[in-house]
Each structure stands twice: as C-alpha cells, then as structure tokens.
Amino acid sequence: MQGGKIVRLAAALLSAMPVFAWAAPGTSYAINPVALKSQSVLVVDADSGEILAAKNADAVVAVASLTKLMTALVVLDAGQDLEEELQITREDLDTYKRTPSRLPFGARVRRGDLLLLALMASENRAALALSRHYPGGREAFVAQMNATATHLGMTNTRFTDAAGLSASNRSTARDLRLLLDAANAQPLIQEYSTRPSHTLRVGKQRLRFISSNRLVRGARWDIELQKTGYTNEAGRCLVMQATVEGRRLAMIFLNSVGKLTRYGDAARVRQGLASAERSVAHRVKASLPGTSSAPVESTAAP
C-alpha cells in the first residue's frame, strides 16, 4: 500500500514539472514527456531533426484516419487525373464501423474534391472511393500503400484500408514522422489538409464540409499540414507540422483520451516553448555586464 502511494506521489510530481526542461543551457530544450497526456508522442524540430520529446514513440498502435495521408500520397504518386469525376456507389460503404457520410450513392464527384474531403474533413466514403478507382482496384491500392511505407522506411507500419477504419492499420509515432515528411513535400496535401472548409455541389445540393481539426478553424496556429484520426481502438490522434515560436515542429500525438487532449498537448508544447524562449532571453540578459545574475524561475505550462 505504501509503495502505491509513493508511485502516485512520484507521478504527480513529474506531471507538475515544466513542459520544457534544459537539455543544454542556452542551446536546446527537452520537453518533459510526462507533461504531455497522449499515450504516444513525438515532437521533432523539422529543420534540425532534433527530437524535443518522445514517449512510447516505437509502440505499434492503431492510427485510424492518419492513414489518409498515405492514401493521398498514393493517389498523387500515381498521377491520376484530379479533374475526373468518380461515381460514389454502395461499394464505398464503410463496412468496418458503419460511419455515416454526406456523399450520396450515385453522386459524381471530382477526384480532387474527394481527396480534399478525405484530408480536410476525414471523409471515409471519399477515401474508399479513391481506392476503388485506382488501377487494379482496392487490393492494388492497399498493396501500393504498404510498398510506399516500406520505401519511406516505415518498418513498423501496415495498412489494410484507405480510410483507416480497420484496427489493422497500425504504425508508430516514429514511423508517422516519416509519413508526415513525405506528405509535407506535396503542396496539394498541405493545401487540402489545412483548408478550414469546402462547399461541394452534389446534384442540386450544396454541401458544406469543415475541417476535422479545430486548430485549423482558429486563427492562433501557423499550420503547414495536419491530419486527425479517431476510432475506439486508436483513440484520438493528431499529426501536425506547424511553426511555433519561429521553429518548424513536427508533432505526433497518438491515443489521446478525451476530445481535447491532443489539442491540449499541442498547446502545451507551444506554451512551453514560449516559456523556454523567455527564459533564454532572461538568462542572456542576466549574463550581460552590469545586470543582475539572479536566477530566473521556470514556468510550467498549464
């Protein structure tokens, strides 16, 4: 019993630590991973490659709709005509989770619009239609997804469908960093994944879709590329590349419990980095001749 109290006390003390701790004073920072609530985390400086935080980064887990980044890569790598109209049929029904869709059967939609909806609104029927209209059909599409993963060095990744509905779509935070890099090299994926909303005309209807990422719909973030994901098996997931305090960060948060935890982790990284930058400025100022050398307290991010 006493041992259990000690463990709980240690966990509470660790979680109360600042998000950022000094790794090498005046040069770089290491994020306290305990302060981040997602089960698997990887935060990397996209330019230098410096790993700022890693927690269970090699754990193989379900990745839900993060899968759609690979779906987009396969469609674009194949050079398929984005202006071609594809018909939505009952073959595009989600048979895994029975998730609803606003794209009616019989609708004809541009491939480019389906790609946009898959990335921006995480539209499952759009992703399934894209895979069905690939040369060789869905089997060939999934095979190419896995071949691309192998080519990128994603050694612990496996895909079984284009939407990420099956729990068999599995990867790691470290592998997803490689996918994020590859997707970020595609300007169209950047544009589509960060579009706040899109209105699509289907027959006589005008359907408005919005981003599945609440941060995209706000004005406080400078996001280059993003994708959300959710299934019961995967939990809430988020991958994002964004500029924070002048640094381009690749952030991967997997298996977050609760609707806001993944966004809260992104905010904790941003607030912690801002706090660390202020601390650097204070330390530099304190080291100058004629200034006080009193230590500056670090501030924990909320």
What total of structural domains would you count in the chain? 1
Q: What is the DSSP letter of 297?
A: P
In a domain, 298, yes or no: no
Any domain includes 156: yes
Global pTM? Answer: 0.85
- pLDDT category of residue 218 using cuts at 50, 70 and 90: confident
Do the Cβ atoms of 23 and 30 come closer than 8 Å? yes
Tell me how crowded residue 256 is: count the other CB atoms within 10 A of its CB. 24
In a domain, 225, yes or no: yes
Say if 5 falls within a structural domain: no
Residue 28 in any domain: the answer is no
Domain encompassing residue 75: 37-287
Is residue 235's pLDDT more than 60? Answer: yes
* Residue 200 located in a structural domain: yes
Give the model confidence (pLDDT) of 63-113 as tens digits.
Answer: 999 999 999 999 999 999 999 999 999 999 999 999 999 999 999 999 999
What is the CB neighbour count within 10 angstroms for residue 261? Answer: 19
The token pair that represents 90 in the structure block: 């009952």
Lowest mean pLDDT among 68-72, 202-206, 291-295: 291-295
Residue range 134-150: average pLDDT? 98
Q: Which residues contact 246 (CB under 8 A, 6 or more apart)?
A: none
Helix, strand and coil in the chain, % to nearest 5: 40, 25, 40
**Residue 230 pLDDT greater than 80, yes or no:** yes
Residues classed as catalytic: 65, 68, 122
3-state secondary structure of 49: coil
Per-residue model confidence as pLDDT tens digits over 144-158: 999 999 999 999 999
**117 located within any domain:** yes
Residue 187: inside a domain: yes
Q: Residue 253 sits in a domain of what CATH number? A: 3.40.710.10
